[in-house]
A and B are shown apart, each in its own frame.
Chain A
Amino acid sequence: MSIAPSISERTQASEKDYLWTLNFGPQHPATHTTLRIVLKLDGERVVDAIPDIGYLHSGFEKIGEKLDYNQYVTVTDRMNYISPMANNVAWHHAVETLLGIELTPRCKYVRTIVAELARISDHLLCTGAMGLDTGAFTFFLYAFYQREVIYDIFEALCGARFTNSYTRVGGVMHDVTATTVEKIRRFVKTFPATLDDMERLLNRNRIFVDRTKDVGVLTKDDATNRSATGPIARASGVSRDLRKDEPYLAYADLDFQVCCATAGDCFARYYVRMAEMRESLRIVAQAVENIPAGPINVGVDERTTLPPKSQVYQTIEGTITHFELVMLNRGFTVPSEESYAAIEAPNGELGFYLVGDGSNIAYRARCRPPSFIHFALFPDLIRGHTLSDVVAVLGSLNIIAAELDR
């Protein structure tokens, strides 16, 4: 009686035995937020990864059917909370598309500036955290310091540092002041030096390059086929950028380039983000010097924007408009129609599919979350790489669980 199992038996047995399962998350410092991945490992090699999401699901789309078009902006802050300004702009861009409101030129420029500042702060955190996960701690500190500067700008602009809720239907919460413009100018002047430092820290850093080059490669065809957008698709060679392809806000007037790479690996995604920050800065620099004069909000007479408080308290038109807009049975004139509008958010195409039913609450407020779609790529990107690459791939995809689960 033989003791050793036959070869076929052995392979069968080993298939069950030698793979072991590692539970990554839901609370893990490198996931940054609450997401869970079940990894099947062969030694250190990842054979399979099964994402398990929903830990942070808070029913944002259901809440969108209960809050009016101005109130819901506070919820969008909490979606991709590392660039809330971009979400605000995306939400009200979609609402204004549904309502058919044309913004004032000044508002378009201001929104462009805040959206680009949000892109810079998002990319700073994404690349910073990716550096942190792959062992480059200093890089993260450089990135986070500049995020503080952007927080200061937002604080001067609207009073809130983190959850801005800056936009309103047909306008914004506060007009830009000279102080804000001065702060933005200073940022435009000082930021390139930090960006140079950051690039010098990582671009040719051997440890970082070894850990990110050829890791998690996404091909161009796969990127489109799997609905990837934004820097992740552009790092694979897809040149799609809504700012160029479907110019919204003031992008048509401004000079900037779309940053692409062809490698599609983690390093390319990092590199595209770094390059995009420079382009964003160019956009901010041009826009801040060319903010058109004139009103920032669509006129009070048109009954689409909440009037400024001074007008509410001191003029009868302001009072009436304010009441008309906040009362549930009056409010905006909304068509019983459906529309989709998207912006190029830092992470990719962030769009809202809105269904209006005549009332000033959306009948359905579907968010197209880039993080959700990009996280679906993860199992394919990590298969065959080592356990330590998990954090590099995760960092380069910039998964924000609050947006992933909504």
Chain B
Amino acid sequence: MPANSATLATLTARFGSLPTSEFRGQTRVVVARDQLLGVMRLLRDELRFDLLVDVTCVDYLTYRDAANRFGLAYLLASTDTNERLTIRVLLNEPNLTVPSMVGLWKGADWLEREVFDMFGIFFDGHPDLRRILMPEEFTAFPLRKDYPLQGRGERHNFPVLTRNEA
């Protein structure tokens, strides 16, 4: 279900006009980085978006006509009203830090760790921002568009262990 107009009106009343678009019945609101925490708090506490469905990121490096490098997407839903709303935050290098949502939704913990692991976005205030899927020694961010899909891999970064050493 798309976000209803009252939700958007409340957001606009509190934070001024935010760039909003709709596609296939899904409402997206682009929020500036410094407003993010305030917007999310309002959505959770007053507009009853109690479920953080997903946190993900898109690297627009090779996307046609893209003005920004990264676009974070927070997919929210309400278990009460079944509304859904997508909050976008656009980021550019070198400042890739956004406030963490773990204080509002504990479910953000691993989701943000995955975004950090795959894209190198830093979440300020995250209690345990470590790599989650890739090994700890890994240096690159594999889902960025400048990371190749094919190649020799990362094996040269890891020590060779023989049976006796292992």
Q: What residues of chain A have their CB less than 8 Å away from a CB belonging to chain B? A: 53-54, 57, 59, 61-63, 65-66, 97-98, 100, 222, 224-229, 238-240, 245-246, 335-340, 342, 349, 351, 353, 355, 357-358, 363-364, 366, 368, 372-373, 375-376, 405-406
Q: What residues of chain B have their CB less than 8 Å away from a CB belonging to chain A? A: 1, 23-24, 26, 28, 50-54, 56, 58-59, 63-64, 73, 75, 79, 82, 86, 105-111, 114, 118, 131-135, 142-143, 147, 149
Task: Establish whether residues B143 and A338, one from each chain, have CB atoms under 8 Å apart when the complex forms.
Answer: no
A224 smallest CB distance to B (angstroms): 5
Task: Establish whether residues B110 and A373, one from each chain, have CB atoms under 8 Å apart when the complex forms.
Answer: yes
CA distance A62 to B141 in the complex (A): 11
A368-B106 contact, Cβ under 8 Å, with A340-B26, A358-B64, A373-B111: no
A279 smallest CB distance to B (angstroms): 20
By a CB distance below 8 angstroms, the chain A residues around B110 are: 372-373, 375-376
A224-B73 contact, Cβ under 8 Å, with A363-B58, A363-B63, A373-B111: no
- 15 A-B contacts, Cβ less than 8 Å apart? A54-B133, A54-B135, A59-B142, A62-B147, A100-B24, A240-B82, A336-B64, A337-B24, A339-B26, A340-B75, A355-B58, A364-B58, A368-B53, A368-B54, A372-B110
CA distance A224 to B142 in the complex (A): 30
Query: Which residue from chain B places its CB closest to the CB of A380 in the assembled complex?
Result: B106
Choose one: A62, A358, A373; the contact of B107 (CB below 8 Å).
A373
By a CB distance below 8 angstroms, the chain B residues around A62 are: 142-143, 147, 149
Chain A to chain B: the 8 pairs with minimum beta-carbon distance, closest first: A227-B107, A54-B133, A376-B110, A226-B107, A368-B54, A57-B133, A366-B56, A245-B82
By a CB distance below 8 angstroms, the chain A residues around B107 are: 225-228, 373, 376
CA distance A349 to B106 in the complex (A): 17
By a CB distance below 8 angstroms, the chain A residues around B149 are: 62-63, 65-66
Choose one: A63, A338, A368, A406; the contact of B58 (CB below 8 Å).
A338
A338-B50 contact, Cβ under 8 Å, with A61-B143, A363-B58, A373-B107: no
By a CB distance below 8 angstroms, the chain B residues around A53 are: 132-133
Query: Which residue from chain A places its CB closest to the CB of B148 in the assembled complex?
Result: A62
Query: Which residue from chain B places its CB closest to the CB of A98 in the assembled complex?
Result: B24
A140 smallest CB distance to B (angstroms): 30
Task: Establish whether residues B64 and A357, one from each chain, have CB atoms under 8 Å apart when the complex forms.
Answer: yes
A277 smallest CB distance to B (angstroms): 24
By a CB distance below 8 angstroms, the chain B residues around A224 are: 50-51, 79
CA distance A191 to B123 in the complex (A): 49
B145 smallest CB distance to A (angstroms): 8
By a CB distance below 8 angstroms, the chain B residues around A357 are: 63-64
By a CB distance below 8 angstroms, the chain A residues around B86 are: 340
A225-B106 contact, Cβ under 8 Å, with A100-B24, A366-B56: yes
CA distance A395 to B114 in the complex (A): 24
By a CB distance below 8 angstroms, the chain B residues around A97 are: 24
B26 smallest CB distance to A (angstroms): 6
Residue from the set B106, B107, B143 with the largest chain A CB neighbour count within 10 Å: B107
CA distance A368 to B51 in the complex (A): 14
Task: Establish whether residues B79 and A227, one from each chain, have CB atoms under 8 Å apart when the complex forms.
Answer: no
CA distance A53 to B26 in the complex (A): 32
Query: Which residue from chain B places its CB closest to the CB of A363 in the assembled complex?
Result: B63
By a CB distance below 8 angstroms, the chain B residues around A373 are: 107, 110-111
A337-B23 contact, Cβ under 8 Å, with A54-B134, A373-B110: yes
By a CB distance below 8 angstroms, the chain B residues around A227 are: 51-54, 105, 107-108, 111
Task: Establish whether residues A353 and B54, one from each chain, have CB atoms under 8 Å apart when the complex forms.
Answer: yes
Task: Establish whether residues B1 and A246, one from each chain, have CB atoms under 8 Å apart when the complex forms.
Answer: yes
Task: Establish whether residues A349 and B53, one from each chain, have CB atoms under 8 Å apart when the complex forms.
Answer: yes
